[in-house]
Amino acid sequence: MASSSSCGHNKSYKYNVFLSFSGEDTRKTFVDHLYAALDRQGIYTFKDDERLERGKGISDELLHAIEDSRFYIIVFSKRYASSSWCLNELLKIMECIKTNGHTAFPVFYDVEPSDVRKQTGSVGEALATHKNKSEVGKWREALKQAAGLSGLDVRNTANGHEAKVIELIVEWVSLKLRPFDMNVDENLIGMERRMQDLDAYLKVGLKDVRIVGIKGMGGAGKTTLARAIFDKISVNFEGKSFVEDVRDKASWLGLEKLQEQVLSDVLNDKSISISGVYDGKNLMRKRLLSKRVLVVLDDVDRRDQLEMLAGDPTWFKPGSRIIITTRDEEVLKEHNMKWIHDVSLLSEEEAIRLFSRHAFGKDVPTLAYEKHSREVIIYVAGLPLTIKVLGSKLCGKDDRQWAHTLERLKTIPLKETLENLELSYESLEDEHKEIFLDVACILRVWDKDTTIRILESCGYYAKHGLRVLEQKSLINLKDKYYIHMHDHIEELGKNIVRREHAYEPNKHSRLWVQVEIEQVMAANSVCKRTRCIDLRITPGIFLEGLGNMKKLTCLIVNNRRFKDSSAIDEACLHFPDSLRYLYWYKYPHWCLPKTFEANNLVAVDMSKSKIKQLWECWGKVMKKLKFLDLSKSKLRSLDLGLTPKLERLNLECCRDLVKVDVDGGCLKSLVYLNLDYCRGLKSVSFIEELESLEVLNIRGLGLREFPGCIVSGHSSNSLQVLDLSFNYLISEIPSSIGNLHNLVSLNLSFCESLKSLPGSICSLQHLTTLYLQFSGIEELPEELGQLECLEYLNLRSAKVKHLPNSICMLKRLKTLILINCTFLEKLPEDVGELESLEELNLYNCSNLREIPSSICKLKRLKELDLEACENIEKLPDELGNLGCLQWLHISGYIL
């Protein structure tokens, strides 16, 4: 292949690819398919379909298009050399690759490369038709040079299968374009070099499976490198997943949750649920073979994490890449990893550049501070995050402040790097310091929403405070679900809490070290400063000391690993009245302690507990309680009159629950109610009193009829999400459902007795998602097209025989799932009017006879599944017009 000059790397091109070809030979065949494949991959390609007649000069417009293209694909065919137009194109192309940093890729379609190089055979015969000897001489030289470039002979590649050849060409272009299209953050100094080093291990494009390890000390940039390479190469894979903080999440959430994340990400299926790690392992082994995947497992510290999340190469489809980051090389070696990359720290010059950008806003230090800058770099050991923080801290400071910082750095041993990050901590306001310490010591492993709830329960303005911490480079909030904090910053926070009284944990504001917690509890001493505890239940642990913690606001008790917690004496259990947030997984007693006043309690999470009712005798009103989660507990009855400010109530899978009481009009704040599978509940009439309810889940409740209280009660004007799925006996939806004017999502899946829907459902003008999978639905309302906002419709395994023609009026519909609709005989003729449709899944619609030609008008369609539709005799000829189509499955073949 022609090499690219340095100036070509910096030029911005109008086109990614210029196609040079003979229209007589290939315009409607090979080149047409190649152009469509490039376009589907998002590669902007110039293809000239309006050729001038032979003998006329090549246009200026075409010359400019050649100059403004990054790559050239030259398709040599039998008639290519007979066209002076093609030959003049070739002259211009060969001129550009010599001077402007372009790259040419020859494809020999139906000619031998040697015939092009030597101008023999059909190529020689074509050249003989030209009379101008001067031009022929130039053309011969251009043909010779082009044929000498690295290219591809169609007849001798992939056994001549053109579809596979085109796939290889597109893959080559994608890989070559990626480095030029990739915008690496300009502040990631040295990242390009590290990515190039890692490329040598990954070898993306080879058809083997590679599990590559990245090792190095904490703060060396392993995660940053993994993220950068993930962003760069993920376009080349069919599925991808980036799992951060495996070490922490595995110990807190369990490996099965991480297995769920990988499978959900890769398969784009959020419904995946795994009950145990070995079931998850078997499921991953089976399901990951279906796609060429890119998976990153960040911060692994145990071999069993790799065994359950990465297994061995046989788990994955050829071409897959798995990247592991760790501080412990032994973990990689125990897993028999062949490719291990040691990430290097920043060189002195790279560190100076990064520091200068944050301190002075340019790549080199200000002359007056050059010596000081280099002294700073000596003491931060090439750790990028430390350099960035120090540069920002010293920006605009005077000589005295620089000297103070340098003196401070000199007193910090390199083995304790990043204690200098306390400079950022000291600049925080008091409340933001407390939030930082809570996150660093206790909350780092929690998901973002729960962390915010805990902090808000403790009286903080959590969202604002977290944004401040992000601005100070102390945390990262870019992840949708988790808050990320660098290891060294976490160590900083823990050191701040412990250092004043290193050997007196009863004086610490936060307790998270199990041994220290047990010492404090055993001593039963008064803890005047302790405000947050994260403890594990262990055999023989004493909990009497909790009552002596008069400032305790947050109590987290994890009982996951200790099976027999019944030994905890209820009489010795005392919660201080200062408590605002209480989390106790598998709480062992049937009610809250009698001595607990709960005057300040804001949130309670006691999932999988043995609690049967909140209080033993008389009920204490919890005036500040907003969040109550008793899911999967032994709860039998609940009086919501005791929780007048409650906003969210989760009673999922409380199978013993028989009664919920609500004092008339007392519960005005509840917006979320989950009664999923509360099969023992005798009545849900109390819902009528919930005037602010927005989300209602009564899934699997065993209802025999639709609860009228939903549409007649106070909540009918506020309800946005209603889940009635798995209520097998509901046979009718009342016409009054049209009263739910603000409903956005309705789930009626697995309502097997439900045969039809009332026409009034079509008056739900805000409805965006409608789940009817595995229901007994046989027909849909003719007015369905009136659901103007509907974006998602799932009819999987429903018994519908036809779709109403009005469905074609759903201009916002993006997803239509008709999997296993074996009674469906045809699609509406105007299905092509669904202008927003991106996914159409007709898997195993075995009674479907034809696909309407109008389907070819679906310009936004990305996924089309026609597998197991064996009665479809012919597909529309214009199917190739679906320019956005990325995934087409027909009769077992994925195209």
Sign of the four-CA dihedral 170, 173, 177, 178: positive
Give alpha helix (H) positions in 829-868.
none
Looking at the domain assignment, is residue 393 inside a domain? Answer: yes
- The answer to whether residue 415 scores a pLDDT higher than 50 is no
Percent of the chain at pLDDT > 70 equals 90
Q: Which residues pair with 817 in a beta bridge?
A: 794, 841
Identify the band that residue 380 occupies on the pLDDT scale cut at 50, 70 and 90: low
List CB contacts of 344: < 8 A, sequence separation 6 or more. 194, 216, 220
| pLDDT per residue as tens digits for the range 773-826 | 999 999 999 999 999 999 999 999 999 999 999 999 999 999 999 999 999 999
Phi/psi zone of residue 422: left (φ > 0), alpha (ψ -120 to 50 degrees), beta?
alpha
| pLDDT per residue as tens digits for the range 277-320 | 898 889 988 888 888 899 999 988 888 899 999 888 899 999 99
Looking at the domain assignment, is residue 815 inside a domain? Answer: no
Identify the band that residue 181 occupies on the pLDDT scale cut at 50, 70 and 90: very low
Boundary residue ending a domain (454, 481, 501): 501
Looking at the domain assignment, is residue 885 inside a domain? Answer: no
Mean pLDDT for the stretch of residues 264-279: 84
Nearest-angstrom CA–CA distance, 45 and 170: 11
Do 12 and 53 lie in one domain? The reply is yes
Assign 815 to helix, strand or coil. strand
Q: Which residues pair with 297 in a beta bridge?
A: 243, 324
Phi/psi zone of residue 524: left (φ > 0), alpha (ψ -120 to 50 degrees), beta?
left
Nearest-angstrom CA–CA distance, 613 and 591: 5
Cβ-based neighbour number of residue 636 at 10 Å: 15
Nearest-angstrom CA–CA distance, 437 and 494: 7
List CB contacts of 328: < 8 A, sequence separation 6 or more. 215, 301
Looking at the domain assignment, is residue 753 inside a domain? Answer: no
Residue 344: predicted pLDDT: 73
Do 332 and 318 lie in one domain? The reply is yes
Q: How many domains does the chain fold into?
A: 4
Do 234 and 276 lie in one domain? The reply is yes
Residue 379: predicted pLDDT: 65
What rounded mean pLDDT belongs to the chain?
A: 85
Q: Which residues pair with 342 in a beta bridge?
A: 215
Residue 867 among the catalytic residues: no
Q: Is 525 exposed, middle or buried (0-12, 13-18, 19+ CB in 10 A)?
A: middle
Q: Which residues pair with 557 in a beta bridge?
A: 535, 584
| pLDDT per residue as tens digits for the range 513-525 | 888 888 888 887 7
Do 261 and 304 lie in one domain? The reply is yes
Boundary residue ending a domain (501, 520, 539): 501
Nearest-angstrom CA–CA distance, 53 and 85: 9
Boundary residue ending a domain (325, 342, 359): 342
Q: Are 72 and 103 in contact (CB under 8 A)?
A: yes
Nearest-angstrom CA–CA distance, 316 and 403: 55
Q: Are 254 and 277 in contact (CB under 8 A)?
A: yes
Mean pLDDT for the stretch of residues 716-742: 94
Token pair belonging to 550: 């008069």
Looking at the domain assignment, is residue 448 inside a domain? Answer: yes
Q: Are 536 and 563 in contact (CB under 8 A)?
A: no
> What distances in angstroms separate CA 848 from CA 738, 826, 866, 874, one per listed residue?
33, 5, 10, 11
Phi/psi zone of residue 352: left (φ > 0), alpha (ψ -120 to 50 degrees), beta?
alpha
| pLDDT per residue as tens digits for the range 205-229 | 888 899 999 887 666 778 888 988 8
Residue 421: predicted pLDDT: 62
Identify the band that residue 106 occupies on the pLDDT scale cut at 50, 70 and 90: very high
Domain span including residue 23: 6-179
For helices 370-380 and 399-410, give the axis angle rounded to 10 degrees.
30
Mean pLDDT for the stretch of residues 743-753: 97
**Taking every pair of C-alpha atoms in the chain, what is the biggest distance, in angstroms?**
109
| pLDDT per residue as tens digits for the range 16-66 | 899 999 888 888 899 899 988 887 666 788 887 644 333 445 677 788 888
Q: Which residues pair with 558 in a beta bridge?
A: 536
Q: Which helix (H) or strand (E) holds 646?
A: none
Residue 362: predicted pLDDT: 79
Residue located via tokens 């002195």:
348
Residue 178: predicted pLDDT: 57
- The answer to whether residue 93 scores a pLDDT higher than 70 is yes
Nearest-angstrom CA–CA distance, 753 and 737: 18
Give me the half-sphere count of Cα atoms (radius 13 Å) on the Cβ side of residue 697. Answer: 14
Q: Are 497 and 437 in contact (CB under 8 A)?
A: yes
Do 175 and 187 lie in one domain? The reply is no
| pLDDT per residue as tens digits for the range 530-581 | 999 999 888 777 788 888 888 999 999 987 665 555 557 666 788 999 999 9
- Give the residue, 249 or 242, on which the prediction is more confident: 242
Do 321 and 353 lie in one domain? The reply is no
| Short-list 449, 416, 213, CA closest to 328 | 213
Residue 28: predicted pLDDT: 85
Looking at the domain assignment, is residue 521 inside a domain? Answer: no
Sign of the four-CA dihedral 186, 192, 194, 198: positive
| pLDDT per residue as tens digits for the range 678-721 | 999 988 988 888 889 999 999 999 999 999 889 987 778 899 99
Do 80 and 149 lie in one domain? The reply is yes
| Short-list 52, 23, 18, CA closest to 35 | 18
Mean pLDDT for the stretch of residues 74-102: 86
Nearest-angstrom CA–CA distance, 414 and 219: 13
| Short-list 169, 116, 124, 102, CA closest to 145 | 116
- Give the residue, 212 or 396, on which the prediction is more confident: 212
Do 332 and 196 lie in one domain? The reply is yes
Give me the half-sphere count of Cα atoms (radius 13 Å) on the Cβ side of residue 496. Answer: 23
Assign 290 to helix, strand or coil. helix
Residue 12: predicted pLDDT: 61
| pLDDT per residue as tens digits for the range 306-363 | 999 988 889 999 999 999 998 777 788 888 888 888 877 777 777 788 888 877 877 7
Mean pLDDT for the stretch of residues 103-122: 89
- Give the residue, 7 or 48, on which the prediction is more confident: 48
Looking at the domain assignment, is residue 572 inside a domain? Answer: no
Residue 301: predicted pLDDT: 83
Do 192 and 316 lie in one domain? The reply is yes
Residue located via tokens 């030597």:
118
Residue 442: predicted pLDDT: 93
Instruction: Report the CATH number at residue 301.
Output: 3.40.50.300
Q: Are 517 and 547 in contact (CB under 8 A)?
A: no
- The answer to whether residue 434 scores a pLDDT higher than 80 is yes
Looking at the domain assignment, is residue 795 inside a domain? Answer: no
Q: Are 820 and 841 in contact (CB under 8 A)?
A: no
Instruction: Report the CATH number at residue 436.
Output: 1.10.10
Do 366 and 463 lie in one domain? The reply is no
List CB contacts of 756: < 8 A, sequence separation 6 or more. 777, 778, 779, 780, 781
Q: Are 142 and 12 in contact (CB under 8 A)?
A: no
| pLDDT per residue as tens digits for the range 615-636 | 988 778 999 999 999 999 999 9
Q: Which helix (H) or strand (E) holds 695?
A: strand 695-697
What is the distance of C-alpha 286 from the center of its chain?
22
Sign of the four-CA dihedral 201, 207, 208, 212: positive
Nearest-angstrom CA–CA distance, 608 and 321: 38
Do 138 and 243 lie in one domain? The reply is no
Nearest-angstrom CA–CA distance, 646 and 255: 33
Active-site hit among 67, 89, 256, 518: 89
Do 75 and 12 lie in one domain? The reply is yes
Instruction: Report the CATH number at residue 369.
Output: 1.10.8
